[in-house]
Amino acid sequence: MPHSDNKMGRWGAVSYIVGNIVGSGIFIVPGTVATLGAYCYCELGTSIRRSGGDFAYLTHVRWNAIAFMFMSIGCVLIYPLMLAIQAETTAEYTVQAFRLNENCLNNPILLFIFKKLIFSLFALFMMFINFYSLRRVGARFQNRWNYC
């Protein structure tokens, strides 16, 4: 067998395997947890046929105080933070997708203002979609957005 410089040493092989295990663990475990959580919500949604989501599920088992606290924290903290994260990500990806940071907006202050403008427009757009009609407009928008 001829001598080749393309061989991997013991530590190279070990680090390669560990990298594959860690890399797959980073992507597979959260996907599995999210899928199991989705299955739980499917089960709850098909067995408890009331509108209201988490609040309806918690009041169904007579945990009214916990349901009130959960929805209060959700309205004040969780849902606004989720919208802020989504709007910030949308602004960043919009700038990256159109390469605005390289082509047009070389000034960091102008780039910051432009990102905040996209952030604000996205947040207002989502707010008005949910205010107008969740069934007619919100669901259609979500279906089309998922298709894209």
CB of 130 closer than 8 Å to CB of 138: yes
End-to-end CA separation in angstroms for the chain: 53
For the segment 37-76, what is each residue's pLDDT rounded down to a tens digit? 999 988 988 998 888 888 899 999 999 999 999 999 988 9
SS3 21: helix
pLDDT at res. 103: 67
Mean pLDDT of 66-88: 91
Count of positions (residues) in the chain: 148
The larger pLDDT score, comparing residue 2 to residue 19, is at: 19
Rounded to 10°, the helix 108-132/79-97 angle is: 130
Read off the pTM: 0.61
